[in-house]
Amino acid sequence: MQVERLNGLAVDFTERGYRPCFYLELHCSEHGDIRAAVETEPAQQHRCPLCGSTCDSVALGRGLTLRELPNFEVVCALTQYARKQRQRIAKTQ
Ligand SMILES: [Zn+2]
């Protein structure tokens, strides 16, 4: 992937170890909000990398990463209290 700069020079980031990727965010009812980088364009649903459950996801865009693909990070983990609240609500439905 080449990125044009204002001065007309092109930099090939793949020669520097960067990998093209797609970023997405998903919400897992067990683990909270997770951001991930994947090799292929994401669908509207994606499996949670921690528990494998199918979650709604939102594509955030394309980019480059130095990390191995796929990778992820939990950006907003559910607290123990929130997890128990959700379990309590699910039992009453
Ligand atoms: Zn999960």
Q: What are the strands of the beta sheet with 19-28, ordered from one edge?
A: 45-47, 54-65, 19-28, 32-38, 71-76
pLDDT at 81: 73
Kindly list the averaged pLDDT for each block of 10 residues, start to end, along the chain of length 93.
56 88 93 94 93 95 95 86 78 83
pTM above 0.85, yes or no: no
Residue 4 domain flag: no
Report residues near ion ligand 1: CB below 5 Å. Answer: 28, 30-31, 48, 50-51
Distance CA 72, CA 10 (A): 29
* Range of the structural domain that residue 65 is part of: 19-92
Total count of domains within the chain = 1
**Distance between Cα 42 and ligand 1 center (Å):** 17
Torsion (CA) 84, 86, 89, 93 in degrees, nearest 10: -130
pLDDT at 60: 95
Residue 35 domain flag: yes
Residue 11 domain flag: no
Burial of 23 (0-12, 13-18, 19+ CB in 10 A): middle
Nearest to 53 by CA among 77, 71, 80, 27: 27
Residue 10 domain flag: no
